[in-house]
Structure 1
């Protein structure tokens, strides 16, 4: 019963959107189809295509270079390449808008150097592709590097013995074997691109997410927003299906069983210089330039922004992020263990349905949460009027409980994945011995599994905490009126053309994200040496 309850509550937003489709579209739906739907499709297509190509080029090349070649400072490069994940894409967009804008940092630098007044217009689709790519390429880098590190050395040695050079070995042997990992990272990039709202809105690019916001708030057409959400969900699930289908019938176990890891080799000085440049450029554009720009703006605006209201907002962000991380990890444990303890066979794999929230864009998820909670509030109001002759306000909508509920759905997969990966490494003999000694499933979990899962639980807690700090579209729709977060505050400043004032809350979010990035790299290194 507990398993079924979790699955129902976690899947409620998706069920809601599916059911509301039968109610028909809103009055403005035909207008959107005739005038703007094609723009949503076209812009989303170009964004996805551009980001796929750029993130693949940066992520795969950087992962192969640091895994295969000995470079100067390669230990630093390994984790510096992950740091752009600490930057939410909308914050990177704000930083580059100011850097390239009229009177911005680039123009001042070129004037000082006597190169004239150089300015680059980045507020367009190509600019948004660049911003999203330098923010998201670490997803591909981490997934690719994890495969390259465990790549079987025997296959590469055999390829060399057969006369294949380094380039042919990479394209014929290494890359095909790494394809499932690369595509898994690429799917995460696609999800984030489709979920983006802040960067696309600020750059004036119409996408499905900005269209959902416009239909819900500007046009006041919930039915139209639901239809747009359904189209976006179909696109997301199509990519998930393609990824599962692509890796479904293939086996890649040889590398994990081989004791010979990918050997590192020396390259000539000229090649090493080119490789260092290729690796350093993503770090420069994805982390160093944005953080320097935000730091400079923060110094200029600190006295103006650092008010009592700002620190209250920071504490509210920390509080909701901590609560979300705690409850999400608890629900993740229940999602993974309750189906195993359940005696009903049809519920054994039902827990996997509850971790689809991360595949659903934040704006879509927010609408799927808001509709049933509004219906429930209306039911409470009618009950109060009929039975107690009382006028009740909204008891659920516009409260932290609904926001927390949506966060848990959104980030349940983020918490479940580290726990699941560690759970698979636990020896079943420990649990079996505990069962033979007369302990039930729950006592066995507390005595055996829980202590062994502590590292992965900590990693899951920190990752959910940081993702909550960064979340924007879902928070914009569901947050209470008297509640704010650093992400929303940065967005409000940027929307009011106070881009410099947005730097301090943005920088706080980035600094909060650096810790788990370093932790993520430490987990990868520990796995490498085990």
Structure 2
């Protein structure tokens, strides 16, 4: 023990202290949820367990099973067709298939509620009345909104798949269909399961769509416990159960990746060549790929554009412009702070000599795996406690009354966004730093340049594209975030996501179109940028 202490003392540097401080600061919300579990649940916990929790569990399970099936169906089939076959407008469809990510699922839910509602497009054109406000409607909406996660992961794998495997399978007499289902699909499992895990985390995090469609889930239960029942302890217990489910999903995904692997000889590696097929098959493949684009992006977009045309003069006011500006400023500042923390974690860990602290860095990026409502609860409790402590000190020792300095402020909101989306910024920058290697920084040190100077003069210029992509991705996620913003936003501040939700909650669904469109158009640019990055790398 003494030797370990001396080792830690010897290797401790200012970077070690800075890194540990950041890790502790970022992980406060998660530890808050964990610690508060020991205080026991609220008074309504037994009622909730007997009456509501089974409903939360069953609804969440139904959503997970349904969205898993549809997202895998849409994502894998589309990825394989555009990667393997020559079809009309293939290059256009490749990036159109990603665009549903630019539309938040709750906005897609509003659009389809209008499309299938009484007096909607479907009733006018086909004289059909379809009820979307149920489990099946929510599964459909979430699936067509989130399948691009599976599509992107699967397409990246299929593009790098060696044609040697397919050729060997055909030499053994296997048909194209049998080769895909017996060989290619099992090999691609780690890729599309990784995408599916992201889908399931988004499903469990969803609040706006589930609330609007009247489906009780864990996230809606957390809101009900916190605001309607006014029992933070009960909300914390629900949050803990949801976090446990998320980490079980992540653990299962990690385990299956460990068990599955294959070796692809780079020496003889040949990329899969796209094959020509008959006209009838080309038409079938085109329709198969176009359906997710139509359902996930084009139909919701056209519905929102129609509503925006009808309500533009009513909605486009000075208040709307003010809310748009507030949303942009909050998203920009949150993205900047998040990228700054991501860079600090990466490079402080690189300059730090204590491996045990470097291991703790991974805990800092777990926020993305935790639903926004849970992060909000984890932020609200400590900030409220700090504010109460400060108010008490000023009142008792200085006889001076002050308001809250953290709770209900932009500071708490930006901090929560940073905790939630740190992984979104960290991962692309980390991937780029690994490509840089150590030779450049080591050469700089031989020239007696310090860490900071080396970073700004050598590493930062080489990482500009990765930093920019991280910034844009965080910006878009913050623009779309709803449950976290609903809980933590200051009373005098509003965002486009919250405004669209308020319109929809008041049954002013058409009025929700203009703020929704603004969110979508700010999301299209990074989605196209993501597609360009994939194409460039492959």
Same fold (TM over 0.5): yes
1:452 aligns with 462
| Residue 419 (str. 1) matches residue 429 (str. 2) | yes
1:293 correspondence with 2:293:
no
* Alignment equivalent of 2:244, drawn from 224, 234, 251: 234
- Aligned counterpart in structure 1 of residue 172 of structure 2, from 162, 174, 181: 162
* Equivalent-residue separation in structure 2 for 1:392 and 1:194 (angstroms): 39
Give me the whole-angstrom Cα distance separating, in 2, the residues matched to 1:131 and 1:41: 20
- Paired position in structure 1 for 2:94: 78
Please, what TM-score do these two structures have when normalized by structure 1? 0.97
**Structure 1 pair 480/256, CA: closer, same or farther in 2 (3 Å)?**
farther
The alpha carbon displacement at 1:250 in A equals 4.0
For residue 182 of structure 1, report the CA deviation from its aligned partner. Answer: 0.7
1:28-177 correspondence to structure 2 within 5 Å: 28-110=44-126, 117-177=127-187
In 1, the alpha carbon distance for the partners of 2:249 and 2:453 equals: 40
- Residue 35 of structure 2 is matched in structure 1 by 19
For residues 445-524 of structure 1, the aligned pairs below 5 Å read 445-524=455-534
Matched residue, 2:12: none
Alignment of 1:192 onto 2:210: no
- TM superposition score normalised by structure 2: 0.95
4+ residue runs over 3 A deviation: 249-253, 255-259
Deviations 1:404-451 (A, max 9, x none): 000011111111111112122113222222222222332222222211
Unaligned runs of 5+ in 2: 1-16
Residues in 1 aligned to 2:446 and 2:264: alpha-carbon distance in whole angstroms: 35
Q: Which residue is equivalent to 2:444?
A: 434
Provide the secondary structure at the position in 2 that maps to 1:501: helix
**Cross-structure match for 2:23:** 7
Pair 389,512 (structure 1): closer, same or farther in 2 beyond 3 Å: same
**Alpha-carbon contact 2:334-2:475 (below 8 Å) kept:** yes
Is residue 247 from structure 1 mapped to residue 247 from structure 2 by the alignment? no
* Residue aligning to 1:114: none
Once the two structures are superposed, residues 128-178 of structure 1 have per-residue CA deviations (whole angstroms, 9 ceiling, x without a partner) of 000000000000000000111111122222222222211121122211221
1:320 to 300, 314, 330: 330
Three-state SS of the structure 2 residue aligned to 1:349 is helix
Tell whether the 8 Å contact from 1:339 to 1:350 is kept in structure 2 after alignment: no
Aligned-residue Cα RMSD (Å) equals: 1.2
Deviation per CA, 1:103-126: give whole Å up to 9, x if none.
Answer: 11211222xxxxxx3110000011
Tell me if structure 2 keeps the 8 A contact 1:64–1:145: yes
Match of residue 228 from structure 2: 218
Gap change, CA 1:256 and 1:386, over 3 Å in 2: farther
Q: Distance in 1 between matches of 2:123 and 2:39?
A: 53
Correspondence for 2:11: none
The change in CA–CA distance for 1:259 and 1:447 in structure 2 (over 3 A counts) is farther
Cα distance per residue 1:57-84 (max 9 Å; x no partner): 0000100000000111100010000000
Which residue of the partner structure matches residue 351 of structure 2?
341
Contact 1:150 1:255 in 2 (8 A): no
Question: Could you tell me which of 350, 373, 379 is aligned with 1:369?
Answer: 379
**Would you say the 8 A contact 2:56–2:218 is kept in 1?**
yes
Q: Secondary structure at the match of 1:79?
A: helix
Cα pair distance change 1:251/1:302, threshold 3 Å = same
8 Å Cα contact 1:60/1:144 also seen in 2: yes
Compute the displacement of 1:351 (Å). 1.4
String of CA shifts for 1:275-298, please: whole Å, max 9, x gaps: 111100000000000000000000
C-alpha change, 1:386 and 1:409, in structure 2 (3 Å) is: same
Gaps of 5+ in 1: 111-116
- Tell me the distance in 2 between the aligned counterparts of 1:320 and 1:255: 48
Q: CA contact under 8 A between 1:95 and 1:294: conserved in structure 2?
A: yes
Q: Distance in 2 between matches of 1:257 and 1:59?
A: 30
Relative to structure 1, the CA distance from residue 46 to residue 19 in structure 2 (aligned partners, 3 Å threshold; closer, same or farther) is same
CA drift of 1:345 comes to 2.0
User: 2:164·2:269 contact (CA, 8 Å) conserved in 1?
Assistant: no
Task: Assess if the C-alpha contact under 8 Å between 1:40 and 1:208 holds in 2.
Answer: yes
- Aligned CA distance change for structure 1 residues 250 and 336 (closer, same or farther; 3 Å): farther
Per-residue CA deviation, residues 290-315 of structure 1 (Å, 9 max, x unaligned), is 00000000000000000100000000
Q: Deviations over 1:2-28 (max 9, x none)?
A: 111111111111100000000001000
| Correspondent of 1:394 among 371, 395, 404 | 404
Aligned length: 522
Query: Which has the larger displacement, 194-203 or 327-336?
Result: 327-336
CA distance in 1, matches of 2:313, 2:366: 43
- 2:392 equivalent in structure 1: 382
Partner of 1:138, secondary structure, is helix
Distance 1:253 1:327, change over 3 A: farther
Equivalent-residue separation in structure 2 for 1:250 and 1:177 (angstroms) = 8
